[in-house]
Every structure is written in structure tokens, then in C-alpha cells.
């Protein structure tokens, strides 16, 4: 799979999940809110790294791609945990 398409698909899924959680977060428990704030920092790192990866004028290291995938996967897991807490 094309690396750009893979990141676009992951980003789209994360954006949708992030938006849904953001709507519900004001009703959440304190733990969910704290986890949300930590996830927002990771989201910032993820989107910053995506900017570098998708910039055709910059050479992208394999390490940056690997790290960005890890951050994206961790965000996915975090968003799933938060979503479960909000649905209780």
C-alpha cells in the first residue's frame, strides 16, 4: 500500500473518532478528560510529523515514518478506550 494513502486513511479515521469524542467529552469523567488531554498532545505530534512526511521537498526518514505509525496506533487505542468510557 502507498505510504501516503495509508497515512491519509489513518488520519481520516482518527479525525472522525476525535471529532465524535470531542462532542461527548464535556460529559465525561475526570479520568477520561485527563486521558483526552494527553491524547491531544499526541495528536499534535502526529499531525506535525504528517506535515513533514507529506512534504515532498523534505526527505523523510524511515524512523520518522515508523514513529508516526506508532503514535497513530497509540492514538487509535486511546480513542477507543475513551469512546468506551463515554458510552458507559
**pTM exceeds 0.75:** no
What is the rounded distance in angstroms from the CA atom of residue 23 to the CA atom of residue 3? 30
CA-wise closest residue to 7 among 87, 59, 64, 57: 64
Q: Which residues contact 43 (CB under 8 A, 6 or more apart)?
A: 14, 18, 75
The per-residue pLDDT for range 5-50, each reduced to its tens digit, is 999 999 999 999 999 888 888 777 788 888 999 999 999 999 999 9
What is the rounded distance in angstroms from the CA atom of residue 40 to the CA atom of residue 37? 5
The angle subtended at Cα 17 by Cα 15 and Cα 21, nearest 5°, is: 115
Amino acid at each position: 500500500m502507498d505510504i501516503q494513502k495509508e497515512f491519509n486513511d489513518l488520519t481520516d479515521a482518527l479525525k472522525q473518532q476525535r471529532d465524535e469524542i470531542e462532542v461527548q467529552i464535556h460529559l465525561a469523567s475526570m479520568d477520561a478528560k485527563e486521558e483526552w488531554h494527553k491524547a491531544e498532545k499526541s495528536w499534535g505530534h502526529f499531525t506535525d510529523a504528517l506535515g513533514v512526511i507529506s512534504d515532498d521537498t523534505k526527505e523523510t526518514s524511515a524512523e520518522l515514518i515508523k514513529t508516526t505509525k506508532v503514535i497513530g496506533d497509540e492514538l487509535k487505542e486511546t480513542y477507543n478506550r475513551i469512546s468506551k468510557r463515554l458510552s458507559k
